[in-house]
Amino acid sequence: MDTGSREVRRLRHGRRQTVFVWGVLAGMTVVALGHIAQYGVNVPLAEDWNMVPVLAGEEPGFWSWVWSQNNEHRLPAARLLSLGMLAVTRDFRAGMVLNTLLLAVLTSGLVLLARRLRGRTSIVDAFFPVALLHLGHWENLMWSWQLQFVLATAMIGLLLVLLVGVRVPVAPGPAALLGGTALLLPFGGGTALPMVPAAVVGMLAVVWLPRASRRSRLIALAAVVAAVTLVGVYFIGWEAATWYPDNPGVEPTLRTTARVLALGWGPVAEISYLFFALAAAAVLGSAGVLLLLALSHDDAQRGRALALLCFLGGIAVTALAIGYGRAGLQATEALPDRYDIVMLPGILAAWFAWQLFGPPRARRVVQAGLLAVVMLLLPLNIAKGYGWRSWYTTNMAAVERDIRAGIPVDGLVQRHGDFLMHWDKEQLAQRMLMLQRADIGPFADLGVGSAPD
Q: Quick one: pLDDT band at residue 218, thresholds 50, 70, 90? A: very high
**Mean pLDDT, rounded, for 160-172:** 93
Choice between 243 and 393, residue whose per-residue pLDDT is larger: 393
d(CA 16, CA 30): 21
d(CA 267, CA 4): 48
State the pLDDT at residue 385.
Answer: 93
d(CA 164, CA 303): 10
**Mean pLDDT, rounded, for 175-182:** 95
Whether pLDDT at 386 is above 60: yes
CA 309-311-316 angle, to 5 degrees, is 95
State the pLDDT at residue 4.
Answer: 64
State the pLDDT at residue 280.
Answer: 95
Which range is least confidently modeled, 8-12, 54-58, 149-153, 227-231? Answer: 8-12
Please give the C-alpha separations between residue 346 and each of 159, 263, 387, in angstroms, as whole numbers.
Answer: 12, 11, 26
Three-class SS state of 437 = helix
Count CB neighbours of 319 within 10 A.
27
Helices (H), 166-272: 172-184, 195-208, 214-234, 250-262
Choice between 226 and 244, residue whose per-residue pLDDT is larger: 226
CA 314-316-319 angle, to 5 degrees, is 110
Query: Do 370 and 347 contact (CB within 8 A), yes or no?
Result: yes
Considering only CA atoms, which of 36, 12, 202, 23 is closest in space to residue 108? 23
**Mean pLDDT, rounded, for 368-379:** 96
Which range is least confidently modeled, 20-29, 239-248, 277-286? Answer: 239-248
pLDDT single digits (tens) 40-87: 999 999 999 999 999 999 999 999 999 999 888 999 999 999 999 999
Cis peptide bond upstream of 169, omega within 30? yes
Count CB neighbours of 447 within 10 A.
16
State the pLDDT at residue 210.
Answer: 77
Q: Residue 314 is which amino acid?
A: G
Percent above pLDDT 90 for the chain: 81
pLDDT single digits (tens) 95-147: 999 999 999 999 999 999 999 999 999 999 999 999 999 999 999 999 999 99
d(CA 223, CA 241): 30
Which range is least confidently modeled, 5-19, 284-298, 389-403? Answer: 5-19
User: What is the overall mean pLDDT for the chain?
Assistant: 91
Please give the C-alpha separations between residue 58 and each of 33, 284, 285, 324, 439, in angstroms, as whole numbers.
Answer: 32, 47, 51, 37, 13
Instruction: Tell me the domain boundaries of the chain.
Output: 10-150+378-453
Query: Do 169 and 121 contact (CB within 8 A), yes or no?
Result: no
Query: Do 208 and 307 contact (CB within 8 A), yes or no?
Result: no
Q: Quick one: pLDDT band at residue 7, thresholds 50, 70, 90? A: low
- Measured on CA atoms in the order 247, 252, 256, 257, is the torsion positive or negative? positive
d(CA 68, CA 64): 6
d(CA 150, CA 147): 5
Q: Report which DSSP code applies to 136.
A: G
